[in-house]
Amino acid sequence: MVVLSGCSSWVCSETTAERGEAAVRVEVEDATGRLVGATAEVVGWRLEPHPQVPAEGDQVHFRFRFHGGDEGSGPAVDACAVDDARVALGCRTVHASQAFGPGGDPTGDDYLAVEHPERVAAVLMIPNDQSVFDRRTCEDDPKDGGGAHPPEPAGAGDRL
């Protein structure tokens, strides 16, 4: 009879990616900082009431485009309306699957509700892919958690 004995040390480790540099056009990167072969860009924006809630006043209506990658399922990046000092007034995650259209030029649009729409100077994209839905941590699940995580989504007040 052979008895095998051994020990295994499972060490759960995790890292959170640094937030990438926001711009009108960004190359999307995964949680480890590698480029995923896709770009996201804001192709225009304007202030106008949302058609479903016009009584709420002006919102930031922006159009965006994704190039490359798998437009059918990912990636996703944060889009933020910013003031002249690049302080976020409001942000939301937009997915490549929201962009569609003829040919290889898929576009989408969305709205950002901000407290002071008159202060909006630009709409910027943040390059970090936010499409990862499983954000289990080592604390939540020492066996299957951990690994690389995207940065926390941007929000109002963040300097980009």
Q: What is the pLDDT of residues 74-113, one digit of tens each?
A: 799 999 999 999 999 999 999 988 887 766 668 899 999 9
pLDDT the model gives residue 6: 43
Q: Which amino acid is at 53?
A: V
pLDDT the model gives residue 73: 61
Q: Which amino acid is at 4?
A: L
Residue 160 has pLDDT above 70, yes or no: yes
pTM of the predicted model, to two decimals? 0.83
* 125 contact partners, CB below 8 Å, separation of at least 6: 22, 23, 24, 25, 26, 40, 41, 42, 64, 77, 78, 79, 80
132 within 8 A of 149, measured Cβ to Cβ: yes
